[in-house]
Each structure stands twice: as C-alpha cells, then as structure tokens.
Amino acid sequence: MLLLNLIQKTLSDWISFFADRLLSNVKKTTCSMRLFFNISLIFLLCSACDFHQPNQKVLGTTTDHAMVSSAHPLASAIGVSVMQDGGNAIDAAIAVHFALAVVYPQAGNIGGGGFAVIRMHDGSSSALDFRETAPSLATKRMYLDENGDLNNKRWSTHGRMSSGVPGAVDGMFSLHKRFGSKSMESLIQPAIDLAKNGYELTFLGAKIINTTQEDFREHNDWPIPYLQKSPWEKGDRILQPELAETLVRIRDEGRNGFYQGKVADQLVAEMQKGKGLISHDDLANYKSVWRTPIAGTYRNHKIISMPPPSSGGIALLQLLQGTEMHPIADWGHNVSETVHLMSELERRVYADRATYVGDPDFVEVPVDQLLDSTYNHQRFADISMKKATPSSTVSAGTIPPIESQETTHLSVVDPNGNAVSITTTLNSSFGSKVLVEGAGFFLNNEMDDFSSKPGVPNQFGLIGGDANAIAPHKRMLSSMTPTIVTKNGKLKMVVGTPGGSTIITSVYQTLLNVIDFGMGMQEAVNAKKVHHQWYPDEIRVETNALPQPTIDQLQAMGHSITPTDKLGRMDCILILPDGRLEGGADPRGDNTALGF
C-alpha cells in the first residue's frame, strides 16, 4: 500500500514537472488548451495508477481506560456508567443488553437469544451459548405440506409458530453468576427506567418502526405501544409500561421472573392464540450452555470466536486460513484480486457450513477437521485467480470421518482489560412481529434459522442440510460471530456485528482491514464491504465499495455483481499501540462508542 502510494506520488511529481516545463515554453497557450492538458494529465495519472484510493483516515472515539460500543447511544452510556461505578466489562454488557431491549427493540431483546465470547485480563477465555431452542412440540416437517414442500414460508418468519424458546434472560443471569461483580438489580434498573419513563426516538429508530406498522397490526390483537395513527418522528417519546413491569419481575424474582410465574403465563397464552408451540415446560427447562471457544491464528494474531451452534467461528477461521496463503496487503483493499479471492473462499466455506455445522448436542460437528490446515489447503487449492468458480460446481469439501435480518452486537473493555463480545438477536427485525400481550416484549422468529427443508434457502438465502434440521430442544444454526483478538498475549480487538448471513464476512473483512491494511478501528468499520455466501451465486457489493473499473474486472472474471445499500453494522474496540482504546461504531446506524 505504501509502495503504491509512493509510486503514485513520484509519477505525479515527474509528470507535473515536465508539464510545467512544457507549458512555460508555450507562450501562446490558450486557457482551453491548458484545461485540455490538465484533464489529459489527470486521465494519465489515473490510468498509470489503476488503484482504488483507500478509505479516508478517521479516528473513532478514543479513551484511556474503558469503552463500550453498541447499537444505541443510551445503551452505551449506561454501560459506561456501570464501569465508572466500579462494575466490570461483564456487568456493563449485561446492563447494555437489557437497555437495548428497550431502546433498540428491533433486535435488542429479552425474547430472543445469542452468544457471548469473554476474555478476562488473566488471558482465560470462555463462550456462552444462550441461543434459542426449538419447542418440545417442534417437528422436522412442521413447515412442510403433505407433498414435502414448504407450506407457507411465513409460518417460519411471521407469527407465533416461528418462535423458539428465548434464551436471553437465562444467558444474562448465567454471565452474571460466573463473572458479575455488581448486583443484578442495579444492572436491570436503568432499562426499567427507560421503559417506564420513555425515551426519545432517533431518526432511524422512528423510520424502522414506521416501516413495520402493517406487520404489527397483522400479528397483534392489542394496542401495542409501537402502533399509532400518524408516523413516528425523531424526538417522539415512546413509553413501554408493560415491558417495564416485566423487567421489574426479572429484577425482583431473578431468572424465574421470566421463565416462570406471570410472564411465563403471558408468553404461553400468546402461543395459544394461534399455532405457537412454546410451553411452560419449555420455558422452565431452558438452560444456557458454556462452551469452549473456537481459537486459531492469523498473521501472528490469536482469534477467539464462537463455536457451534454458531457457524461463525469455524467459518471465520477457515476464511482466514485461506487468506493467509496470499499477499493481500500488497494487492490492496477492495481491488479486484482481493475481492475475487475473498469471494472464492467464501463460496467454499459457506458450502461447508451448510453441510457440516449444526447443534453439537444433536449432531457431530467435525470442528477439528474443518479447521485443519491440510484440509483447508486442499479445499482452496482449486481457486483460480483468473476466473470465478460457478457455485453450481462447488459442494462441501470431503473431510475424513470423525474419530441469523436483525441482530445487534455490543463490545466492552473495562479498565482491567477484561473484554466481552456479545451478539444477540430476534432474527428478523422485530422477530416474529408478535409483542407478548401484557409483557411488552417481542418474540423471536428463530425457527427460520433451521433448515425447514434441506436445500431450500431461508430468508437470508442460506441453504441448510440435515445437520440443521428441526428437532425438539435443538438449537438452530447461526452466523453470529462475536470475536476477540489478541497479539503477543495482549488484548487487541473486540469485534462483532449484526447482519444475518453477512455477519461472518463483515467480521472477516474488518479483521483484514486492521491486520492487513493497517486501518484504525473506526476506519475499518467505515470501510465498505462485499459479500458472497455460495448461493445465490453473486457478490453483494455495498454502495460505493468498488469503483466501476474493479466491477468490470470482476464481471469479466465471471462474477455476478449485486448492489446493496449496506452490509454489517459493526461495534468494535481496538487497543492502540499506546494502550488507549479506539471505539469503532458503525455510521450506518445509531451505533455509538463511549468510554472514559
């Protein structure tokens, strides 16, 4: 990158020098001739240096001691306040999570689930799976008709039948039991205050509620607080008294305040209104699971990420193994060679994901084999750097036998160097669109993350196989990729994003932006992204991510290019060389990084 910049500057200086000498000798050069010459000079420069300019340097929020990056400024401020009051990173993350359930209802939740990756200052790491589970009455064919075809796809994405058993509340209490230092009551109270007293909508917050009004009316038979006759506007105050009451019960009764008693009765009653499957036993028996994180290396960095039933950690490390074989830093950011390589790697990794990865409590996931360097070297050996591989010719790799669009993410680092990366979701925006009557929280539509029918894509276009088939109590496959990066034994990055199937590739590119292309955290987050996921066979390209010549080159190689408005919505933290923290909060949303 630096060499290319030096060549470009040197070439520019030489051409400018000769141009000045030439023009100074032309006594009668007209203004029009000078204009023509300058335009020609610019064209010559651009042709000589076919190089996409890197993103503009920008520094994110920097602090000395602690940082929170989340999807909403009010939630981030609450997390900072918790740490200023002596709480650790996990305390702050719990408080932020509950706050997001109030101020970011399209994804923040108590009716969904997610994953957490934690690294403590002593270097120990752990991962918590609080993913939703299929109800006990769920069946493999529940969304199919008598002919084995999808009966009504909206059953898996809209309404009560689309909901899995929520894991978020149990997850927060599990995190607190192992790592919390402040009382759970004090961590939930800020969310109660926001729900009871109300908060002002941002422009984007009002916009997304307005776009979902018809779904709210269709799937709710009571006057939910998100419905009103006139459009919501920035600055409007929204009150959620029913949600406040539910949070009070959780505060006062602990985990049982959600999974038993009145709230559980309200949730089950909502199920009984039509096709919902969650029972009292499903709620009472839900348990989060502590798992061993996925870990690997990339260019002298240790990558710590989420294991199955998330596919994120495996896929991320496969992509990084494939990338490490190539000098992408020399090629450049978002140039045709780099985008082509990433796309070729991604189509193969997503094919493996569809075939092999599922809930490890139900299927044997060949984690070691998928992360074996020899396997991945062979897996990527047929990549041509001159032409695209049609996805129709790509299947899952042959390995030896074994001996979720709406999500939100938060990253936290505390003054002691403890770090937590949490990605949580309702799946689609506002999940199933069903707000539990009297309880005030949205139910997820995570059942769509199962493979309703092998080979048939879900709402994100992802194809699944039998490893991710529906079964009672099973956890659905996920793309969530909460990740922590260290170097030389020291914390370096905390990263993650929402985005459904694009989560993995957004985290992947953000790591490359920092490690290979030398970007800071905010710059890496701001950088436009691209995405391939095997099927559909296309590269999705964020607006203004690639110049037209690069798009032309990729199309000439056989790639299909599909424009999209945005990919990912990162919330990340980078430890700078001088020890300060830089937050990267995605400008595509209301994301905010705050600290002290």
| The predicted structure's pLDDT at residue 405 | 52
Question: What residues in the chain have per-residue pLDDT under 70?
Answer: 1-56, 152-153, 395-406, 453-465
Joined tokens for residue 373: 């360097």
| The predicted structure's pLDDT at residue 464 | 52
From start to end of 452-578, where are the E strands?
A: 483-487, 490-495, 530-531, 539-542, 561-564, 571-575
| The predicted structure's pLDDT at residue 565 | 86
Report the Cα 468 to chain-centroid distance in Å.
20
Q: Where are the alpha helices (DSSP H) in 324-468?
A: 328-331, 336-356, 367-370, 373-379
| The predicted structure's pLDDT at residue 194 | 98
Q: Are 508 and 531 in contact (CB under 8 A)?
A: no
| The predicted structure's pLDDT at residue 46 | 35
| The predicted structure's pLDDT at residue 445 | 94
- Taking CA atoms, 339 is separated from 46, 84, 309, 528, 562, in Å, by 20, 42, 28, 12, 14
| The predicted structure's pLDDT at residue 31 | 34
Q: In a 10 Å sphere around its CB, with 0-12 CB exposed, 13-18 middle and 19+ buried, how is residue 119 labelled?
A: buried
Interstrand relation of 483-487 and 592-595 (parallel, antiparallel or unpaired): unpaired
The candidate with the shortest Cα–Cα distance to 267, out of 110, 124, 496, is 110
Write out the DSSP string of 119-144: E-TTS-EEEEEE--B--TT--TTTTB
Q: Which residue in the list 157, 407, 425, 550 is annotated as catalytic?
A: 407
Burial 523-560 (b: 16+ CB within 10 A, else e): bbbbbbbbbbbbbebbbbbbeebbbeebbebbeebebe
| 566-595 pLDDT per residue, tens | 888 999 999 999 999 999 999 989 999 999
Q: What is the pTM of this model?
A: 0.87
DSSP run (H or E) holding 425 = strand 419-427
The candidate with the shortest Cα–Cα distance to 137, out of 471, 393, 572, is 471
Concerning whether 407 is annotated as a catalytic residue, the answer is: yes
CB atoms within 10 A of CB 3: 8
CA quadruple 305, 307, 312, 318: dihedral sign: positive
Angle at which helices 184-197 and 89-103 pack, to 10 degrees? 20
Beta carbons within 8 Å of 89's beta carbon, 6+ residues apart: 66, 83, 412, 413, 414, 418, 419, 420
| The predicted structure's pLDDT at residue 542 | 93
Beta carbons within 8 Å of 5's beta carbon, 6+ residues apart: none
CA distance 422 to 426: 14
Q: Where are the alpha helices (DSSP H) in 260-387?
A: 261-271, 280-284, 312-323, 328-331, 336-356, 367-370, 373-379
| The predicted structure's pLDDT at residue 40 | 35
CA quadruple 58, 503, 436, 127: dihedral sign: negative
CA distance 547 to 46: 12
